[in-house]
Amino acid sequence: MNTSQPTLQASLSAELKHELKLTRRLLERVPTEQFSWQPHPKSMKLGTLASHMANLVGFLEMSLLGPETDILTQQMPSSPTTTDEVLRRFDVNGENIHKALEQVDDTTLHGTWTMRRGEQVFMTIPRAAVVRTLVLNHLIHHRGQLSVYLRLLDIPVPAIYGGSADEAPQR
């Protein structure tokens, strides 16, 4: 009987693959002509939210490049201006994350990473927490926001963890 457990790397990689697939389904429905729409003056614009979602998956890759990242030294990409650009950025970042994850072991994922801006330290956390908190949970949070934006714009909301009012659950 095989009692071996999957590695942390394998588990996180599989979960990330699943969540990226669900997220892409929402991003595909963001209409370019509505990028400047926002549900409230204090809310992000639709295009800003979609762009943020496409970019935030890069935090994991950053965390795997070394023990710390100083955001003052990072070149931030320009914001996509169309849905196609958002999807291309999201797909490239997703591919890069999977390639980076394939190269690490559980020891690396348990190792810490620090995010700073110059002398100001924002956080020091295990890389596994980067996957869970800065990427997966953060992405799921914004996916919820995006699904509300789509609903308010009367754009069909795809099934995510079950059916939606517009779509039966995926099988």
Which pLDDT tens digit goes with each residue over 40-55?
Answer: 999 999 999 999 999 9
Q: Is the model's pLDDT at 3 over the cut of 70?
A: no
How many other C-beta atoms lie within 10 A of the C-beta of residue 30? 24
Which amino acid is residue 1, in one-letter code?
M
The residue with greater pLDDT, 11 or 76, is: 11
Give pLDDT, residue 32.
98
Per DSSP, which regions of 45-152 are E strands? 68-70, 112-117, 120-126
Angle made by CA atoms 100, 134, 85, in degrees to the nearest 5: 70
Quote the percentage of the chain above a pLDDT of 70. 98
Give pLDDT, residue 61.
84
Residue identified by tokens 């991003």 is: 27
Q: How many angstroms separate the CA atoms of 139 and 143, rounded?
A: 6
**pTM for this one?**
0.90
Query: How would you list the strands of the sheet with 120-126, edge to edge?
Result: 68-70, 112-117, 120-126
Q: How many angstroms separate the CA atoms of 112 and 123, rounded?
A: 10
Give pLDDT, residue 30.
98
What are the structural domains, with CATH classification, of the chain? 8-152 (1.20.120.450)
170 forms bridges with which residues in the sheet? none
